[in-house]
Amino acid sequence: MAAALATTIGAVLLAAPAVPVAAAPPARMAVPQPPPGGAVVTVKTGGDRAGDGSLVPLPGVTLGLYPTESDAVPALECVSDGDGDCNFVVEDASNLIGTRPFVKQIAAPGGWFANPSLRTGPGSGSGSVDSPYVFQTPTLEAGSTYSSQSDFMFSSTLGSNYTASNGVWQNSRVNPPLPSRCGLDIAVVLDLSASVGATNLPILKSATDQLVDAFVGTPSRMAVFGFARYSPNQNATTNEIYPNHPELQSVSTQAGADEFKSQYADWGLGSGTNWDHALYRVATSGVHYDATIVLTDGNPTRWGLQGPPVTPSGDGSNTHFADVEEAIFSANLLKKNETRVVSFGIGRGVSGVSGLNLAAISGQTAYDGTNVVDADYFQIPNFEGAGETLRDFATASCTGSVSVVKEVVPAGGDLTDAVPAPGWEFDAAGADGVTVDPPAATTDETGGVSFEVGFPQGQTSGGVTVTETQKPDYTLVTQDGLNASCVDRVTGDPVAVTNSGETGFDITVDFDSAVTCTVYNRAPAVEVTVDKEWVVDGVTYREGSQPDGLDATLTLSGPGGAPLTEQSWGVPRGGYDLGEAIQFDETTTITDETCVLDDSRVTERNGTAVDADLPYSDDLAGLSNTYLVTNTVSCEAAPPGGSLGSLGVGSLGSLGVGSLGSLGVGSLGSLEGGSLEGGSLGAGSVGSLGSLGSLGALGSAGSAGPVIPPVPPAPPGPAPTPTPPPSTSTPPPPGTSTPTPTPAPPSSGPRPNAIDGGAAERHTVRNLGITAAGLVLLGLAGAGAVAIARRRSS
């Protein structure tokens, strides 16, 4: 009856079994209008959550419209189109008008699976309900269209209305497999909801610790996320937010594992359970993980992607279809990116039919006690048993393999100082028919490599030889005389090692063992020296001999990635590794106000000229790494003095013996010379002359001398004899003699503007005085000129 009336309008309307999914996705089509006397039922289907939080339509979902819930054969079928619309066009003659039919799923598109039922009920785990994922439409009336997003499926009424949906039909992606190798990138997601309880919280952390420790010795890295009603989790009492750590951290060594575990050691409990937000945080972290392990003690009671203070959707006490639907969409985004989702339900809250929800976010294969590698979800009865199961999961991917972790001991250190080292090559070969894949590998940032061991038919063990390629200047550090130490991670027992050559070792590997070995090498002594020079007005000074008032402080990073700290110029800092990245910078201090820093450059690297800015970064290429930083400084020159003009004979007045006495401020009379500022005396301007002593009246000055502009200083040498200006005074009486002025002594110091390492008085003559003897000579000569210079200080 219904089959005869089935039509195809934007969908396939059949009464037959499921229609095969076409290779190309269905095209987008508009929701059709109801036919005469008929109605339309449209269901929106969703697949992945998008990065912005919205939902991506899922084409190819086959749904059926059934007269009653128990019917096995649908009256109509539809396949969702490119918009995710699955449209049932109900004809008037279908006998469905005036009834309330049911929508059920018939088939999922390739790469997806349907969830025929989900667990609903109280979030505590008691009173669990296996709720069929089936929805009844309203009574169909002619000329009407009924949407899953408004007229049925969708409901904003929560509480005991456990089948309240958000109106978008869910399907789950097939869970991608784990990579077939030992050494994985794992994200751990910890449920920190209040239901975990203060008693079980440390047990949950201990179980997680066992998982982490099981990866030690393998080239594995891990990240950790926490959640309750939000992710990251917010403490329900203090409102403290415990940050997620999406960055992958190596756990190949015990030191690395311990550091990783410290990140969640102090995490407290929140409230509510929001699987949706937790999985979305992992999916949008920007980091790819091989697997995401979800550790939860209860079913979701919240959904939504906003953090505090926004309260997420859901009532926080019960699990509804909507709480699980949204988690499925976020899990699908993870799986789309080839991340396997493995869900661990721990405790009574996720026992029994709660497996339906654990499967919906991961996959359909339950753990049966033997399939730890293939299982999608686990239901562990109590927290105490979780640690062992998690450890089994970690070691299972490594059975029948050999992992080698390279650690480098710094020069002068011991094994406790060793760190994982990338870039080391190891070769591996089997004996007695045993195969090793790959035959050679280079350690990654975890310091580890892994070799898969294959055995001939009927053989369960065989020999493997591993040999490292030694690096120049490194030395192998033996352990009790052996080139490596090895352990079986499955049993925890040591594995016998025999040396093979200078850098190799032989071991026996069983098909069900997971052997991990550690090889140590001592690094050569690598050091960094940063030296300093100053170029001041063209004169070069090594650090420590530069003029006073010029200082610079060096900061240098490392070793081992340590931040910038102070370091003395020209003093080596050791403890680095070859190839280690370093950075250095300086802070300059110039207290001489006449000087300006023109430039600071790195001018030499390992004896080769360079021209680089500060701060400067480099990768250490040798055992001794040297750098030179050059600072260029300009200082203002001291200009020559001006002229007091022509002082007539006798214009100094009468100077009695001893009248100079203590040099106080005397009177120069009327000066017509130029300004003292800038090296010449302006008319009538004396400036600050310092202390001239008690001179009495100097009389009237002669005519003003020429203004002398500043000129570069002459090279060091004897000072020229002053040439007195023409005298306009009365000549001395006959028979008297005129003493010849005494020339200045030859200059024995640097040029007036040269910097000699701080020994010379630099750029500021602070005491401008005229000696008593000089004044007497000036008075007797009557025609001498005094150049009084004031070196400007700026």
Max intra-chain CA distance, the chain: 157
Q: Are 533 and 628 in contact (CB under 8 A)?
A: yes
How big, in percent rounded to 5, are the helix, strand and coil portions of the chain?
Answer: 15, 30, 55
Instruction: Give dist(CA 597, CA 109) in Å, integer.
Output: 71
Instruction: Give dist(CA 246, CA 222) in Å, integer.
Output: 8
Which candidate, 311, 226, 301, 325, places its Cα nearest to that of 266?
226
Instruction: Give dist(CA 761, CA 772) in Å, integer.
Output: 23
268 vs 123, 237, 239, 240, 427, CA distance in Å?
20, 9, 10, 9, 46
Q: Are 614 and 600 in contact (CB under 8 A)?
A: yes
Instruction: Give dist(CA 58, CA 75) in Å, integer.
Output: 23
Q: Are 417 and 410 in contact (CB under 8 A)?
A: yes
Residues with Cβ < 8 Å from 183, sequence gap 6 or more?
218, 219, 220, 398, 403, 446, 448, 450
At 371, the amino acid letter reads N
Residues with Cβ < 8 Å from 282, sequence gap 6 or more?
187, 189, 225, 246, 289, 292, 334, 339
689 vs 216, 593, 644, 668, 675, CA distance in Å?
81, 22, 13, 11, 12
Q: Are 121 and 319 in contact (CB under 8 A)?
A: yes
What is the pLDDT, as a whole number, of residue 543?
A: 96
SS3 of residue 780 by DSSP: helix
Q: Are 409 and 521 in contact (CB under 8 A)?
A: yes
Instruction: Give dist(CA 727, CA 747) in Å, integer.
Output: 29
What is the pLDDT, as a whole number, of residue 28?
A: 66
Q: Number of H helices and number of E strands within the chain?
A: 8, 43
For every residue of 571-614, DSSP letters joined together read --EEEE-TT-EEEEEEEEEE--TTEEEEEEEEEEETTEEEEE-S
Q: Are 752 and 713 in contact (CB under 8 A)?
A: yes
Strand partners, 103: 65, 135
SS3 of residue 98 by DSSP: coil
Give the side-chain half-sphere CA count within 13 A for 218: 29
Instruction: Give dist(CA 205, CA 337) in Å, integer.
Output: 28
Instruction: Give the chain's end-to-end CA distance (angstroms, integer).
Output: 106
Q: Which two tokens stand for residue 560?
A: 């081992």
Burial of 301 (0-12, 13-18, 19+ CB in 10 A): buried
Strand partners, 747: none
What is the pLDDT, as a whole number, of residue 787?
A: 34
What is the pLDDT, as a whole number, of residue 278?
A: 98
SS3 of residue 722 by DSSP: coil
Strand order in the sheet with 565-567: 565-567, 550-556, 581-590, 616-619
Low-confidence ranges of the chain (pLDDT < 70): 1-28, 637-794
Q: Which two tokens stand for residue 665?
A: 């401020």
What is the pLDDT, as a whole number, of residue 208?
A: 97
Instruction: Give dist(CA 503, CA 425) in Å, integer.
Output: 12
Instruction: Give dist(CA 23, CA 254) in Å, integer.
Output: 49
Q: Which two tokens stand for residue 575?
A: 């403890």
Which candidate, 478, 416, 464, places its Cα nearest to that of 253?
416
- Per-position b or e across 57-93, b if 16+ CB within 10 A of its CB: bbbbbbbbbbbeeeeeebbbbbbbbebbbbbbbbbee
What is the 3-state secondary structure of 484-534? CEEEECCCCCEECCEEECCCEEEEEEECCCEEEEEEEEECCCEEEEEEEEE
What is the pLDDT, as a whole number, of residue 432?
A: 86
Under DSSP, the state recorded for 219 is S
What is the pLDDT, as a whole number, of residue 483?
A: 98
Domains of the chain: 2-173 (no CATH), 185-396 (3.40.50.410), 401-522 (2.60.40.10), 526-635 (2.60.40), 638-794 (no CATH)
Tell me the residue length of the chain: 794
729 vs 246, 430, 776, CA distance in Å?
96, 116, 17
Query: What is the CA angle 46-51-52, rounded to 5?
Result: 90
What predicted TM-score, i.e. pTM, was given to this entire model? 0.70
Instruction: Give dist(CA 341, CA 572) in Å, integer.
Output: 51
Strand partners, 168: 44
pLDDT digits (tens, 9 = 90+) for 131-181: 999 999 999 999 999 999 999 999 999 999 999 999 999 999 999 999 999
SS3 of residue 665 by DSSP: coil
Q: Are 437 and 463 in contact (CB under 8 A)?
A: no
Q: Are 649 and 783 in contact (CB under 8 A)?
A: yes
